Amino acid sequence: MTAYAYCPIIASRGRDGGAVGKQTGITESELNLKYALTLKDLCSDFGIGVILTRPDMNGLYDETAFNKKRSEMEKRKSIINNSGADLMISLHMNSFPLSSSNGAYVFYAKGSDSGFELAKSVQSSLCQGFDNARKYVSVGDYFVLNYSTIPSVLVECGFLSNPQEELLLQKEEYQKDFCYALLVGILNYFQM
């Protein structure tokens, strides 16, 4: 079986690292990659093959493309849908003007029953391991979910706009625990 761990870097006329931590300046793209590589290692330990869309800090967009963001998204879509994978996990860090917002939560594409089941499995595992994880899954209108032909979820690991969570998200032990919870959610989904 092959799972698909997905770690994006959004690019628009040059690299855009996404959300930025207010205290440390850590970028979403840096953390996304760390979490994706950690999840990849854990999945490999359990015999699950993983395909990363981005194994390093380089973007996927065509350098000559006028709309680099669109180029990046189309490349991701191609990788996802031609991967032969059984599922796709898109990892992100969140940000919100209200700094008290916190917690991990999972999105799936509207109308995707398999995406909903995968989201519930991952969210349930996160709730068992983390008090601040949201207790529900949500429909998300995201390109990577809407154009994926396999069961797919987008996981917001936490908020870089929350001072405590920003620091927590950067701790190696927390990253491993979080990714282990994701792995448990994947394994539980495969057993359904």
Supply the CATH classification number for the domain 2-191. Answer: 3.40.630.40
Whole-angstrom distance, CA of residue 18 vs CA of residue 8:
10
Tens-place pLDDT, residues 26-58: 888 889 889 999 999 999 998 888 888 877 666
Residue range 109-162, pLDDT digits in tens = 999 999 999 999 999 999 999 999 999 999 999 888 988 899 999 999 999 999
pTM of the model: 0.85
Segment (H or E) for 91: strand 87-94
Q: Which of 107, 103, 119, 100 is nearest to 158 (CA)?
A: 103
